[in-house]
Amino acid sequence: MATKVLIAEDEKNIVESLSFILKREGYEVSAIFDGAEVIDAVTASPPDIVILDVMLPQTNGFEILKQLRGTPQIAGLPVIVITAKGQAQDRATAANLGADVFMSKPFSNKDIVAEVKRLTASA
């Protein structure tokens, strides 16, 4: 069974790019464009990893990460936080909330694939 990746990102071009490179590597990819839908989607059908943008409509990525880490059945889900705001405070907030990886946009396709592989190696 393919490793499932959920992309929570509101920029369609980034979703298309990530989907293309991850599908090419053999991952099963789905996407959500609205932050308010992420927790329901993850609890209904847990992916193996989430790629989570900080700036999402309705609910921001930090709030989503806090909810993920506070929900016992999905608290250990690997999460890669991505953002166009790569400030030190954002990096610290992501780390304090339990992000596994923090990446600033623009990121390298090679780097994101490597992190997905690393974080899902036991999945």
Cβ-proximal residues to 8 (8 Å cutoff; 6+ apart), any chain: 31, 32, 35, 38, 50, 51, 52, 53, 56, 61, 64
* Residue type present at position 9: E
pLDDT digits (tens, 9 = 90+) for 27-62: 999 999 999 999 999 999 999 999 999 999 999 999
Phi, psi of 13 (to 5 degrees): -65, -35
Q: Which domains does the chain have, with CATH numbers?
A: 4-119 (3.40.50.2300)
Global model pTM greater than 0.85: yes
pLDDT digits (tens, 9 = 90+) for 77-123: 999 999 987 688 999 999 999 999 999 999 999 999 999 999 999 65
Q: Is 26 left (phi over 0), alpha (psi -120 to 50) or beta?
A: left
